[in-house]
Chain A
Amino acid sequence: MTSLFKVENLSLRFGGLKAVDDVSFEVQKGEVFTIIGPNGAGKTSIFNLISRLYEPTSGKLFYEGNDITHVPAHKIAKLGIARTFQNIELFENASLLSNLLVGRHCFSKTQLWQELLFLPNVKYAERAHRHKVEEVIEFLDLQAYRDKLIAGLPYGVRKVTEVARALCSEPKLILLDEPSSGLNVEETDDMSFWIRDIKNDLGITVLMVEHDMSLVRRVSDRVLALNYGKVLALGTHEEVQRHPDVVAAYLGA
């Protein structure tokens, strides 16, 4: 298995607080890699560092062998990395369809003046984008909510829409930030099936942050445990679960 994404000695400090402390790991192509840890361990900070919303204090990020540590945030999507957000960051006043179409933004090749006049090439591009978005809608069973405004949708649907929007940008690596938080047992089951389908059918590598251990056990190939920004253990789910440091972190020494 080839390494798709590598984090090397990543550190993030907010003043005196070390949010991420010398973290290194490698994500293989086609695997589901989960990061677990108590609250405040730095998991979402790592995601924000990867999607370049934060600047690391030190360390490097490598994607497909290239150093992306200083790539601006809006170029990350084009490289093939997409993410979802822990606290839903959807466009509340737009329809679900519009949200997903924004996910296709990195593929838009039309110029401003062509769009103003709505030339035929813009129309063809719109149809192509719409076709791809419909594929994602079918994959995630969102047909019923296609034209509804996000503001009126229930929480579970919004979580799935986040994943859908990330999938629309045809990523090679998808970052899922707590995909099952706030979902009931049934919805979590659906989410686990979708993650498995994303891995097997779409061939996308999944890097996930999760708290729900049953979901982690069902879906992930490898697990990384964090606490206070530091790596505790890395391995399969059973190895990490039995690791004394991890047990101490979760249950107390």
Chain B
Amino acid sequence: MRFLFKTTYDQDIRLFQHPGQVWSYLALLAVMIVAPMVLSSYVMSQFTFVLIYALVGVSLMILVGYTGQASLGHAAFLAIGAYTAGYLQSKGVPFSIYFPLAGLLTGLVGVLVGFPALRLHGIYLLIATISFSFIVEEILARWEHVTNGNEGMRVKSLELFGHEINRGSDYFYYLCLAVLVAAIVLTLNLMRSPTGRAFIAVRDSETAARSMGVDIAATKVRAFGLSAALTGFAGVLYAHKLSFISPEMFTLALSIEFIMVIIIGGALGLHGAILGAMFIVMVDPFLTWLKDDVPGFVSSIASLLGAGAARVKSIEDTTAGLASTAGLKGLIYGIIIMLFILFEPYGLYGRWLKIKLFFQMFPLYKKATFKRQKVYVKTERNR
């Protein structure tokens, strides 16, 4: 077990507490940089999605994990970023202008959403963000001369400094990686400075925060604005990745997917956003694998166990039928959400921390270390 002997304040203020952390993150970065040269383009395409989802996950961590607000409306912010990029690109504006502009515009919308959100708590805020998402979706569908309505908008490939970056190319992956790393560094900087601590104060006790001089209104608005801006940046990348956007891609289901990133990854830290994003993006390939490979696998096991040829064939067909039912994805999502909230409230990152603690404290680890105290419902109406 590692003990840190601290002699200066800087060791607490720094990003990395000890050299081991620096080396491991550098190694991770090296692996991510080398990946495109080793892995297939299909895997790299999925990875790029992971990066974009992780970026939205980081923005949700700022709002939900650190400031304690709720939002099921982030698909709307993604849409605003995506459509700003698409529209400005069609007007000939270069990437280096419309990228920051999209983020700024979405951030502004986030600030506007933040103001009414000041008076709303918990469930009311959640419902308000859902409504906001619906209204934005409807506006995108109706505002035809800007967004092309329900027909959707084609987004040409990225052009940076005169070079065209195709959405499948390695350079696009590096661009997304750079944006994600920058976002993570910015967020970590934020959380170790007064505004970040104010976010946590607002989450844990508004009354006490107010008495300490934290302007609750300004803090919440800042949180919304930052979160929306990051999602706006992700929207630009999303638009280029898909090369075609339409209002029905930005529904409540997408917002729920983003929240799932936080639930699966855990709201303990930014690692959770990345782990959650990986998990969510893996669901589609998992379903394809279920459809293609699993029936054969199951039937071969059945024949190994001695079933007749006809029986094997019928087993294979049933499994294939089950695996390709429409709505299987919804089923899996629903089960994942419920199972994670029931059994892994701290998410995958929490599970990783528990495993690390197990090995650090071996053999003195106690399972009750993370046992949740049974808390009885006390009304949250009087917050």
Nearest CB on B from A69, distance (A): 17
Spot the interface stretch: A5-13, A102-110, A192-200, A207-215.
Answer: A102-110
Contact of A94 among B204, B211, B214, B222 (CB under 8 A): B204
A-chain residues with CB within 8 Å of residue B216 when the two chains form the complex: 74
- Is there a chain B Cβ closer than 8 Å to A226's Cβ? no
A-chain residues with CB within 8 Å of residue B295 when the two chains form the complex: none
A-chain residues with CB within 8 Å of residue B186 when the two chains form the complex: 116-117
Spot the interface stretch: A14-22, A126-134, A241-249.
Answer: A126-134
Main secondary structure of the interface of A (DSSP, over half): helix
Q: Are B211 and A76 in contact (CB under 8 A)?
A: yes
Given contacts A90-B208, A92-B204, A131-B9, contact A74 B195 (CB under 8 A): no
Given contacts A91-B200, A102-B212, A169-B213, contact A115 B189 (CB under 8 A): yes
Contact size range, B: 20 to 34
Contact of B207 among A53, A101, A127 (CB under 8 A): A53
Contact size range, A: 35 or more
Q: Are A91 and B201 in contact (CB under 8 A)?
A: yes
A-chain residues with CB within 8 Å of residue B210 when the two chains form the complex: 53, 73-74
Roughly how many angstroms separate A241 CA and B186 CA in the complex, as a whole number? Answer: 59
Contact of A127 among B13, B203, B208 (CB under 8 A): B13
- Is there a chain B Cβ closer than 8 Å to A123's Cβ? yes
- Is there a chain A Cβ closer than 8 Å to B197's Cβ? yes
Main secondary structure of the interface of B (DSSP, over half): helix
Q: Are A105 and B214 in contact (CB under 8 A)?
A: yes
- Is there a chain A Cβ closer than 8 Å to B12's Cβ? yes
Nearest CB on A from B106, distance (A): 16
Contact of A93 among B9, B204, B222 (CB under 8 A): B204
- Is there a chain A Cβ closer than 8 Å to B363's Cβ? no
Which residues of B are at the interface with A, using a C-beta cutoff of 8 A?
Answer: 9-10, 12-13, 186, 189-190, 192-198, 200-201, 203-205, 207-216, 222
Return the 3 tightest CB-CB contacts between A and B, nearest first.
Answer: A77-B213, A106-B213, A108-B194
27 cross-chain CB contacts under 8 A? A53-B211, A74-B210, A76-B211, A78-B213, A82-B211, A82-B212, A91-B203, A92-B204, A93-B200, A101-B197, A102-B197, A105-B197, A105-B212, A105-B213, A106-B213, A108-B195, A110-B193, A115-B189, A115-B194, A116-B186, A117-B189, A118-B189, A123-B13, A126-B192, A127-B9, A127-B13, A130-B13
Which residues of A are at the interface with B, using a C-beta cutoff of 8 A?
Answer: 51, 53, 73-78, 82-83, 85, 89-94, 97-98, 101-106, 108, 110, 112, 115-118, 122-123, 125-127, 129-131, 165, 169
